[in-house]
Amino acid sequence: MKTIKNIGLIIFLIGLAIFTALPVIGTYSLSSEQFSDFVDQKGIKSELFITDIEQNIVDKSFDGMLAFAPKVTKALENANALHRKNKEYKKVIYTKPHDMAAELGKKAGSGFIVDNKGLMWFLTFGLGIIGALMFILPNVVLLGQKGIKNNGIYHENATNRGWIAWLVFIFLVSFYLILYFRSEYAVNWTYLVDPISQSLSGNLAGQWFVYGFMYCVVMVVMAIRMYIKYRHNMYQMVRTTSVLFFQIVFAFLIPEIMVRLQMPYYDFKNAFPLDYDFFFQWNLKSLLNSGGIGLFILVWGIVLTLVIVPVMVYFFGKRWYCSWVCGCGGLAETLGDPYRQHSSKSLFSWKVERWLIHGVLLFALVMTGFTLYGFFAETSTVLGIKVQSIMDTYSFLIGAVFAGVIGTGFYPIFGNRVWCRFGCPLAAYLGFVQRFKSRFRITTNGGQCISCGNCSTYCEQGIDVRAYAQKGENIVRSSCVGCGVCSAVCPRGVLKLENGPEQGRINPTQVLLGNDPDLMELVNNK
Amino acid sequence: MEHIVIIGNGISGITAARHIRKLSDKRITVISAETDYFFSRTALMYVYMGHMKFEHTQPYEPWFWKKNRIQLVKAFVKNVNHQDKLLELQEGQSISYDKLIIATGSKPNKFGWPGQDLKGVQGLYSKQDLDGVEKYAPDNKTCKRAVIVGGGLIGIELAEMLRTRNIPVTFLVRENSFWNGVLPAGESQMINEHILEHHIDLKLATNLTEIIPDENGRAKAIKTDKDETIECDFVGLTAGVSPNVDFLKNSGIDIGRGVKVNRLLETNITDIYAIGDCAEQHEAIGYRRPIEAVWYTGRMMGETVAQTICGNKTEYKPGHWFNSAKFLDVEYQTYGWVFSERSKKDSEKHFHWRHPNEKICITVAYHSDTNKFLGINTFGIRMRHEIFDRWLTEERNVEYVMEYLKDANFDPEFYTHYEENIIQKFNTEMGTSITPKKKSWKRIFKIA
């Protein structure tokens, strides 16, 4: 069994190594026909750019994206600079330089990778999946009896912020940086999943399709790990299945299929303000121009945020969204599970959390106010501020850096819910409802707590669960996503996630159950 | 300002300190020779097992003590001079007090076994004990086998710990079934099976006679009363604990096995109190033992003594007995009194149900004449403390408990429920025809 695991690890690492090498290898050669098609298709009017590319790139062969991309970005930047200087605004190209490099790169890619997409898929994703499963599946036997399987978490390098954790951190951060800011280096990855993309939406894959596909693959593999680890705990089994279903069907398949059916790309479970660009002008316009389905999405999106989300939080707590439906939560609960113990439980972190998450919510709401005003008043400046620049700032700081690079990249160091805890504006909104008007709580079982600290240690949201449990108080906290792990790891059966009557949900106590009842009344009536 | 000094920073002492602070502005000092900060003793095992770091066992962040003006002193108290109200410290200094609370906890029992003080021979109680296990049994190369002596809660925890590092464990249990002085036979039997499932070499009805040293004064083997010699590198002595009160021998404070206290937790000396594991009641309360070495009772005594010290004289009146533990993967909870065959009265009858495959069972104790519900043990099923506490106060009979058993279930959502199976068996055995009532929030939370 151990051997199978080790072989699996090697296979996985081979797959990972090939995947990691892909951004910098491959051959790129752009033919003049390809380029002129591209120019027509994009409607590029800058003769400077066109000549530059024709002279420096067309009909030449480049080894690797590192040689190809700078030529494109430079050509674009030079051309735009000159056009701006000459006030030839019609000729300015508004595609961002790195996106342009990615688009041209996608056309120019040639050679082994492009000719053997299936094989390359197998050598990366295929080996990764097979290796990971070989590493995970033997645990059915190796982990032994049903029960809590946290042995050695703080002895293992990978789960105790050792060098492996730091390597994972660097890998994840680099991956997100490429995805958001240097998409030309993701071009080779897109080839691997082109066949899958074409079979779904009919289009070739872009970097976001790679991301979406990979997200699903990672979640499936790591969900299998969850199923094995928590096989004694039905709540975890059901919850993992739910989160997997919503990711694969709602976040991945339905939007792609909608594109094939000429409908707008839309994830029906992604609620504003997590879906921060829902009210952006381009989105509203695209929805309004998409006929019946566009209008339906518009109404659905508004009803989802204003009615469905809070009503469900009232009945079930914010867990129904954050740990049962949401994609960010889904990744956190599968890929992120080995790192859940790293969330800080200090009071200081809680203070930072409250300022940050509510700050982001405020930012999202103000930004949306501006965009909506701009949309209805048909102006691009509100109160002297360019609406576009607010949206760009949010997209960059919150959408890309916070949610992506920090949110997932920092899993191995700060735990798996950095984004959900400190940044997600939807979580902040759900949190208000959960804290002030909900039936959900984590019930503390009388006086049974022994202050061991397992619950606090394994709370991914950094809630000091023990602080409440050892006082006999129920846990009613806006940040709780109801993952249920505190209840699972409790050795004394103290914690239970419940949707019960609101009355008595918050129960501050002076004296714990078990001591004489007279004393209890005496103190409580004081 | 009155100066309250507490010796011992365990759950009793710290609970007392916290509650005195809640109720008053008195000066509070807590002295401990063990650690700088309060930690949860019950969680030491998880540190060795790698579930947590030692810091995680500390329920309060370091700033908490300063903020609440609870002064922490790391020192060992050598003697209590109650005439001058002075504590003499090992290091030579002394600390004066106005009121003293002794909360020094327990120490592992040693019954005069030859070799009991060798290196690699220890109990599992203190932080230092944890360090000892880490030193003498860090892995299965250094420690090729460990022997654990004494089949109680700490013994099985130590066995579980060592097994997580794949150290072969031999577990000597004096009784002919695990913990059957406390557990009824069916439950004890189930835990025997579970211990074997975890590849622990369980030797029942076996006693330690001698621990054999190597040339460096380290344990190398043990001998049993069955004339068996077992080679080992680590010996865990877990045959219970006794009050840690040796330093009080000549202090004039009345000592039995522990510090003798009355129901106000007062000792024979004015202004000196004792709480927690080290306190011994003059007369046992109800079915309780005079010395209760349990986390929960330590906490309750801490709450109680704080009231008395802050001017609200309060007797220690523990409510209905409850306790919990975990045997490897099986959680155990108990509410009320369920005695083992060895110690129960004839009038105490048991109803036992066990799952055909899983390690799940319950035992309900009731009075043979009145059918009054006396208590419940559950294994692998979590129960609601409030509900059983209420039923015990209301003196419900066993049929009522069965009928409303669903209200008491505290298992996580989506777990399989066994009330139907339990009640079916109950009906068959008792000739009753109880149908279980559906769980009701209204009843559970007493909402009109």
* Across A88-107, average pLDDT: 92
**Residue A512: predicted pLDDT:** 66
* Across B305-313, average pLDDT: 94
**Residue A518: predicted pLDDT:** 55
Class of domain A440-524: alpha beta
CB B233 within 8 A of CB B214: no
Give the model confidence (pLDDT) of B391-428 as tens digits.
Answer: 999 999 999 999 999 999 999 999 999 999 999 999 99
**Residue B280: predicted pLDDT:** 97
- Rounded to whole angstroms, how far apart are CA atoms B139 and A526? 54
Query: Do the chains contact at B56 and A453, CB–CB below 8 Å?
Result: yes
Map residue B20 onto helix, strand or coil: helix
The answer on pLDDT for A90 being more than 60 is: yes
The answer on pLDDT for A473 being more than 50 is: yes
* Chain A (122-161) residues lying within 8 Å, Cβ to Cβ, of chain B: 144-148, 150-156
- Give me the CATH code for the B322-444 domain, please: 3.30.390
* Across A146-174, average pLDDT: 95
Stronger pLDDT, A519 or B158, i.e. the higher one: B158
Half-sphere CA count of A417, side-chain side, radius 13 A: 28
* Across B324-335, average pLDDT: 97
Q: How far is CA B268 from CA A365, B252, B272, in A?
A: 68, 9, 8
Give the model confidence (pLDDT) of B48-91 as tens digits.
Answer: 999 999 999 999 999 999 999 999 999 999 999 999 999 999 98
| Residue of A454, A487, A512 with shortest CB distance to B51 | A454
- Side-by-side strand order, sheet with B121-122: B121-122, B234-237, B146-149, B169-172, B201-203
CB B188 within 8 A of CB B174: no
* Chain B (252-281) residues lying within 8 Å, Cβ to Cβ, of chain A: none
Residue A510: pLDDT band (50, 70, 90) is: low
Query: Do the chains contact at B198 and A146, CB–CB below 8 Å?
Result: no
Give the model confidence (pLDDT) of A499-508 as tens digits.
Answer: 999 988 888 7
**Residue A514: predicted pLDDT:** 66
Query: Do the chains contact at A514 and B300, CB–CB below 8 Å?
Result: yes
Q: Contacts of residue A462 in chain B, CB cutoff 8 Å?
A: none
**Which residue from B minimizes the CA distance to A439?**
B441
* Across A320-328, average pLDDT: 96
The answer on pLDDT for A169 being more than 50 is: yes
Map residue B402 onto helix, strand or coil: helix
Query: Do the chains contact at A493 and B382, CB–CB below 8 Å?
Result: yes
Q: To probe the interface with B, which of A159, A242, A470, A519 has the most B CB atoms within 10 Å? A: A519
* Across A56-78, average pLDDT: 92
Give the model confidence (pLDDT) of B237-255 as tens digits.
Answer: 999 999 999 999 999 999 9
Domain ranges of chain A: 27-110, 148-439, 440-524
**Residue A516: predicted pLDDT:** 64
The answer on pLDDT for A401 being more than 70 is: yes
Fold of B121-239: FAD/NAD(P)-binding domain (3.50.50)
Give the model confidence (pLDDT) of A388-400 as tens digits.
Answer: 888 889 999 998 9
Residue B335: pLDDT band (50, 70, 90) is: very high
**Which residue from B minimizes the CA distance to A453?**
B57
* Across B261-274, average pLDDT: 97
A235 Cα to chain B: minimum distance (Å): 6
* Across B116-132, average pLDDT: 97
Query: Do the chains contact at B57 and A446, CB–CB below 8 Å?
Result: no
**Residue A513: predicted pLDDT:** 66
Query: Do the chains contact at A235 and B414, CB–CB below 8 Å?
Result: yes
Residue A519: pLDDT band (50, 70, 90) is: very low
- Rounded to whole angstroms, how far apart are CA atoms A366 and A383? 12
Residue A291: pLDDT band (50, 70, 90) is: confident
**Residue A145: predicted pLDDT:** 87
User: What is the maximum alpha-carbon separation in chain B?
Assistant: 73
Q: Contacts of residue A513 in chain B, CB cutoff 8 Å?
A: 319, 385-386, 389
Q: Contacts of residue A518 in chain B, CB cutoff 8 Å?
A: 317
**Residue A174: predicted pLDDT:** 96
The answer on pLDDT for A387 being more than 80 is: yes
Average pLDDT over chain A, rounded to an integer: 92
Residues 6+ apart with CB under 8 A from A432: A478
Backbone angles phi, psi at A251, to 5 degrees: -85, -30
Query: In which residue ranges of chain B is CATH 3.50.50.60 found?
Result: 3-107+242-309, 121-239
Q: Is B23 on the interface with A (CB under 8 A)?
A: no
Class of domain B3-107+242-309: alpha beta
The answer on pLDDT for A523 being more than 80 is: no
Smallest CA-to-CA distance from B109 within B238, B277, B258 is with B238
